[in-house]
Structure 1
Amino acid sequence: MFLEDVFKEYDFHCVAKGYSPKTMKNKRQEYKQVLLFLKTKRGIDQLESVHTDDLRAYIRYKQQRGLMPQSIQTMAKAIMAFFNWCVQEEYLKESPMKKVELPKVPMKVLEGFNENEVYKMINAFDYSSYNEARNKAIIAMMADCGLRAMEIRTLPFKNVGETTILIHGKGSKDRVAFISPALKKILIKYERIRKEFVENKLLSEDTYFLSYKLQGLAHLSLDNIVKEAGKRADVNKKRISPHMFRHYFALTTLLNGCDIYSLSRLLGHSSLTVTQTYLQSLTDEKLGEQAKINSPLMNINKKRV
């Protein structure tokens, strides 16, 4: 079977599975590159001719071009998914990616936000205008619900209820986020200002958070809102982005007593392994505080008082 034909069939399979346009774009780009490499560098155009050594050579080729270990792992997962599908369809007996060794990704400890910084960033905005109220609500919702940037930007207005938010997550997987009383207080004020802002206007999209064009926010716009919050709050971190609030939510929720299984569901992760990467910013100081709170002897003494 020609590799190009099998890739086309797999493309239709992925579209039918409901992968997002962004995911499909990334997949197509990667498959185009590996197909080109196998044809020009290894002289292979048949699926059955692909060997583990050919894919090892592709990994080395990517390394030589300066691709970082994390990017190589991401790329390799896409290739693995394709060959695993080929096995499921009985086009191959075994995946040639099965024995391909991948470079280890160095563990990076992110310097996450602390409670004081998040508090200051939320209060860096007020209710003096629609944009101010919107930005305040965005920062508060990201910190309190741990939503992805895309989930915030495309959140339909109808999906925000009294106590819950219906999230259309990654990979077309729905989940529920919960609105705390503290967040609800901010959202009530925001919705009142939003109602006045959209009155007698024709909306391009009825998203919960609107741009000046009356549609969902662009990725850059959301990033700029977060950076503006950091600037106003004088938060000095190497990285200030919407994703850092997701890390803050994960770590804070866990330290407040949530188990990792429930946390994984709240974040919309497909596996606990992904959730665990969000906890790398757990510092020794925070760990020490938690150990003190959960100390067996300390709790024995409390019960005896």
Structure 2
Amino acid sequence: MLMKFAIKDFIDDREFKNLSPVSIENYNRTLNEFHDFCVEQEIVDVKDVTPNIIKKYLMYCQKQRKNNPTSINTKLHNLKIFFNYLQEAEIISENKNPTKKIDYVKADVKIDVFTDEQVKQMLNYYSRMKYREKSFYAYRDYTIILTLLGTGVRLGELCNLTWNNINFKNQTITVIGKKRQQSSVPITDKLKKELTEYYVFLQQHFENAQLGFVFTNKYNERLTPNAVKNIFKRLKKIMNFKDARVSAHSFRHYFSVTMIRSGADAFTLQRMLRHSDLKMTMRYVNLFGTALAEQNEKYNPLNKLNI
């Protein structure tokens, strides 16, 4: 089967299975890039793709596209799912699956985290703008950062958040995460107060129009993940941060690390981050778990024995 038709069939299958638009976009990006690479190698049929071609593509991503190990592993993961689909559809046989024996590359676990000073700098910037100019963008972007800091939600979850998802009485928000799973996340009194103030501001700004999504553009339409990324690109330039990546995931890292350093246990953090595997959460504990050592010193049974 021609690769371009195989990719279309695969994407149609993902849409039929009701995957999120973000997931489908990620598959499309990887597979289209891989298809272009294969065409340059004069390969147009999926049956002609070999393990060596997969390796060459990954090397191309590393050397020419300057992808880091995490990005390369994400692309390999997408390719594995694609070729597994072709195998299940009996378009290729199991022994012709070129990704079957390709291992993920080893990556050093490195989590760059904002300093407290950098977080204060960003919030102060928007806070001054909010009270000085009272602009829609200042209120919105300030509240975006507070929501990320106070909940650790992912970018897609933030953009899909509606006012109906916020229960001010119970102080919870319902987020729709990966695989469209719904989870309830508690919010603090501070975040409740800020979201309430933001809601009142929006009612006045949009002249009592119906409010749907929490974070919107100036036309009261859902803010896209790409738009949020552009907000953070501008913010980084304004802040002149040299050693910090400004992104939704950076705020998620800050949320996680601050929780651990403040003494939160791994299981609580796992529930807050909605990790399906505790191993993901343990990355933060292993790298930043000084609080874990303090808790161990305080509660370890050996310390209670007279030996």
Matching residue of 1:59: 58
Distance 2:217 2:39 in 1: 46
Once the two structures are superposed, the pairs formed by residues 1-305 of structure 1 within 5 Å of their partners are: 1-38=1-38, 40-41=40-41, 43=43, 45-47=45-47, 49-68=48-67, 69-91=69-91, 92-94=93-95, 95-114=97-116, 117-118=118-119, 121-122=122-123, 124=125, 125=127, 128=131, 129=134, 131=136, 132-162=138-168, 163-201=171-209, 206-218=212-224, 219-220=226-227, 224=231, 228=235, 237-276=243-282, 282=288, 287-296=289-298
Per-residue CA shift, 1:60-108, capped at 9, x if unaligned?
A: 3444424323332221111011122233334422532121244333443
Deviation at 1:206, TM superposition (A): 2.1
Q: Specify the SS of the correspondent of 1:294.
A: helix
Q: Aligned residue pairs: how many?
A: 295
Deviation at 1:276, TM superposition (A): 4.7
Deviation at 1:57, TM superposition (A): 3.2
Distance 2:167 2:113 in 1: 33
238-247 or 119-128, larger mean C-alpha shift:
119-128
Q: 1:250 to 1:11 in 2, by over 3 A?
A: same
Structure 2 gaps, min length 5: none
Deviation at 1:35, TM superposition (A): 3.6
Distance 1:178 1:251 in 2: 18
Deviation at 1:278, TM superposition (A): 5.4
Deviation at 1:222, TM superposition (A): 6.5
Percent identity, aligned pairs only, is 25
Distance 1:133 1:212 in 2: 12
Distance 2:2 2:236 in 1: 52
Deviation at 1:15, TM superposition (A): 1.0
5-14 or 122-131, larger mean C-alpha shift:
122-131
Structure 2 length normalisation: TM-score? 0.76
Deviation at 1:297, TM superposition (A): 6.7
Distance 2:84 2:255 in 1: 34
Distance 1:211 1:255 in 2: 36
Deviation at 1:122, TM superposition (A): 4.1
CA contact (8 A) 1:19 1:171 kept: yes
Q: Specify the SS of the correspondent of 2:12.
A: helix
Structure 1 length normalisation: TM-score? 0.76
Distance 2:27 2:87 in 1: 18
Deviation at 1:110, TM superposition (A): 1.0
Q: Specify the SS of the correspondent of 2:246.
A: coil
125-134 or 250-259, larger mean C-alpha shift:
125-134
CA contact (8 A) 2:43 2:49 kept: no
Distance 1:88 1:190 in 2: 49
Distance 1:229 1:71 in 2: 22
Distance 2:13 2:299 in 1: 57
Q: 1:24 to 1:105 in 2, by over 3 A?
A: same
CA contact (8 A) 1:38 1:45 kept: no
Structure 1 gaps, min length 5: none
* Counterpart code for 1:45: D
